[in-house]
Amino acid sequence: MTIIELELLSDNISETVQFYKRVLGLDAYSLEKELVTFRVGTTKLIFRKSDSVKPVYHFAIDVPNNRFEEAYKLMKWRTEIIAAEKGDIIDFTNWDAKSFYFLDNNGNILEFITRYGNKTFSNYTFSSSSYISISEIGLVTNNVTHLADTLVKQFGLPIFHRQPRGENFTVVGDDDGLFILGSKGRDWYPTNFRAQSFRTRVLYFHDGTLGHMVR
């Protein structure tokens, strides 16, 4: 599954533009009064203006296998990395991946992840042009089982083969793109932020089919 567009809410568009330029090195692809679009690898990341909603999301950006350490050092210099139990970098052995987390100006929990099974490499020093895509978006629900079943039966998406299903946490998709399904009120790892549901729009491509979801 490939995430083509991801649209989220932000209470402060101007601060978002500044943060994504300063920390992620991204220039606005398109900027309007109530809408800003960035190009994150092959994904369009869109923030739409909201008023006093204080939305918080989790999403992940894929980086090349051989540039992960560079990405970590650069982000650590530019912003504060969220420490987990065993340090800044988390080794997801079952997922054959490593990642680290930080917050944007909105309080969104951003993750930089490299997936070794995808065998992605770059010949160039790490920069914003190294981003592969947005590969994960968290979806919060009162019923994880029902949402997972809907995505499988109605949208034709698979349960992620590297993560067993659970009542409060299930992952749908593949190594290229994932929907992270979490129960409302569950902590967003590796923070103590309680997950809540905010408007999310996703345009994705899977198995020859273009899918569109708004929730």
As a whole number of Å, the CA-based R_g of the chain is 16
pLDDT at position 132, please?
Answer: 98
- What is the signed CA dihedral for 209, 133, 111, 118, rounded to 10 degrees? 80
Residues near 1 by Cβ (< 8 Å), separated by ≥ 6?
157, 173, 174, 176, 177, 178, 204, 205, 206
pLDDT digits (tens, 9 = 90+) for 87-126: 999 999 999 999 999 999 999 999 999 999 999 999 999 9
pLDDT tens figures, 164-198: 999 999 999 999 999 999 999 999 999 999 999 99
pTM score: 0.97
User: Three-class SS of residue 75?
Assistant: helix
Q: Are 131 and 20 in contact (CB under 8 A)?
A: no
Confidence of residue 146 (pLDDT cuts 50, 70, 90): very high
pLDDT at 86: 82
Residue 84: per-residue pLDDT:
87
Residues contacting residue 154 through CB under 8 Å, at least 6 positions apart: none
Whether 33 has a pLDDT exceeding 90, the answer reads no
**3-state SS, residue 13:** helix
53-91 confidence digits (pLDDT tens): 999 999 999 999 999 999 999 999 999 999 988 899 999
In degrees and rounded to multiples of 5, residue 78 shows phi and psi of -90, -25
